[in-house]
Amino acid sequence: MKSIGILLFLLSTLTFADGLQKPKDTKVLADEMVEHFSKKEFKQGLALAKAYWPLPPVEIDSLANQISTQWPIVDQRFGETTGYEFVQEERIGKSFIRYYYLHKFQNHAIYWQLTFYKPLDKWLVNGVTFQDSLETLFQVVK
C-alpha cells in the first residue's frame, strides 16, 4: 500500500513537470493543497502552488503566515477538523476554473475556494481563499 502512495505522488509530480497543462492537473493540485490545509499545514499546501502562481514566493509565504495566525480563532469557534470534501466546480469559458471544498469541523464548516486561470497554454493559480459564510454554496433543491 505504501508503494502505491509513493507511485501516485511521483505520477502527480511528473504530471506537473511541464506545468499545469490540463484542467485535471489543476484538480489534482487543488486536492493536494486542501489535504494539507485540512491538517493545518498551510505553508506546505501553499508551497505546492508556488511554481504555478505568478506571485512572489514571499507573498505566498505571507499568506500562509496570515492563515496560520488566524487559525486559532477557527479552532476555538468551530472545534476540531472532522474532514473535508470537494463540493463544486465552476468555469468561465475555457479560461477560469474554480473549485470549492468544505472543511468540516465539530461545530461548523468553512470552505476553501481555489481559482485557476489559463492565459495562454498553461494553467496558473489565481487565488486561494477561505470563508466561513456558506451562503454561496447553498443550492435550491426542487
- What lies within 8 Å, CB to CB, of 82 at 6+ separation is 104, 105, 106
Per-residue pLDDT of 8-45, as tens digits, reads: 444 444 346 689 999 999 999 999 999 999 999 999 99
Distances (CA, A) of 18 to 46, 73, 76: 19, 39, 41
> Which SS3 state, helix, strand or coil, does residue 110 take?
strand
- Global pTM? 0.85
Per-residue pLDDT of 47-91, as tens digits, reads: 999 999 999 999 999 999 999 999 999 999 999 999 999 999 999
Percent of the chain whose pLDDT exceeds 70: 87
Whether the per-residue pLDDT at 125 is higher than 60: the answer is: yes
**CA geometry: angle 142, 98, 28, nearest 5 deg:** 110
Backbone angles phi, psi at 39, to 5 degrees: -105, 10
**Cα 2 from Cα 66, distance rounded (Å):** 34
Per-residue pLDDT of 98-118, as tens digits, reads: 999 999 999 999 999 999 999
